[in-house]
A and B are shown apart, each in its own frame.
Chain A
């Protein structure tokens, strides 16, 4: 049973470029969450998606950031025109049901984005 797969593990982008982070949830999971983590800080919620729908994007900056979870294929977190402050570890997690349930989150091992 494959876990949550994130790729790439490491991504280096120059300021102004675009970053695309991919996440394949666990088999049978239709709920995906994206979190951002800076060193010595906790996980900060960005966005919660179900298949083809954004349920809650309250933690995601309005500009430059977007997320999708299409009917087929992985969830994508897209950061346009990256700046140095976007450098962080981005984690994806999946769950078989919504946050109101008692199901735990299953995390991938993250994508470490470095903006030079």
Chain B
């Protein structure tokens, strides 16, 4: 079965720095990988999608990389702000479902 691992510990960074979150997966070769943001008490919100033939995708201060050889995706938030504090989830797209990682909790300290 698919196994998706994200940074096991919460990540605390100083405002203005770049946050880097990791998503590793095994037993699967997904055609797509997505990143979501989840705030407490709310449902996840889609941020970015990257395809297997794309090495990198950017959207404003967000950047995602996808290394199918390493089976890893990195999610970067540059010039981080306190409002970026949330839990970030990666998701692999399967046949009939999306497989989610457990998420990484990010806190940006002013």
- Shortest CB distance B44–A (Å): 5
Q: List B contacts of A99 (CB < 8 A).
A: 93-98
In the complex, identify which listed stretch (A12-20, A37-45, A63-71, A72-80) lies at the interface while the others stay far away: A37-45
The B31-60 residues at the A interface (CB cut-off 8 A) are: 31-32, 34, 36, 41-46, 49, 51
Q: Is A7 an interface residue (CB 8 A)?
A: no
Q: Is B66 an interface residue (CB 8 A)?
A: no
Beta-carbon contact of A100 and B44 below 8 Å: no
Q: Once the chains are docked, how many angstroms separate the CA of A42 from the CA of B75? A: 18
Which chain B residue has the least Cβ–Cβ distance from A107?
B43
* Known contacts A99-B96, A102-B51; is-contact A42 B44 (Cβ 8 Å): no
Binary per-residue interface labels of chain A (21-36) against chain B in the complex, 1 for a CB within 8 Å, 0 otherwise: 0000000000001010
- Shortest CB distance A108–B (Å): 5
Q: List A contacts of B44 (CB < 8 A).
A: 43, 91, 105, 107
Which chain B residue has the least Cβ–Cβ distance from A56?
B96
Binary per-residue interface labels of chain A (93-111) against chain B in the complex, 1 for a CB within 8 Å, 0 otherwise: 1000011101011111110
Which chain B residue has the least Cβ–Cβ distance from A106?
B46
How many residues of chain B are within 8 Å of chain A by beta carbon?
26
Q: Once the chains are docked, how many angstroms separate the CA of A42 from the CA of B36? A: 12
Beta-carbon contact of B97 and A56 below 8 Å: yes
Q: Is A8 an interface residue (CB 8 A)?
A: no
Q: Once the chains are docked, how many angstroms separate the CA of A69 from the CA of B94? A: 21
Which chain A residue has the least Cβ–Cβ distance from B101?
A42
- Shortest CB distance B3–A (Å): 11
* Known contacts A104-B46, A105-B46, A108-B43; is-contact A45 B34 (Cβ 8 Å): no
Query: A interface vs B, CB < 8 Å?
Result: 4, 33, 35, 40-43, 45, 48, 55-56, 59, 91, 93, 98-100, 102, 104-110
Q: List 5 A-B contacts (CB under 8 A).
A: A42-B100, A48-B96, A55-B96, A56-B97, A105-B91
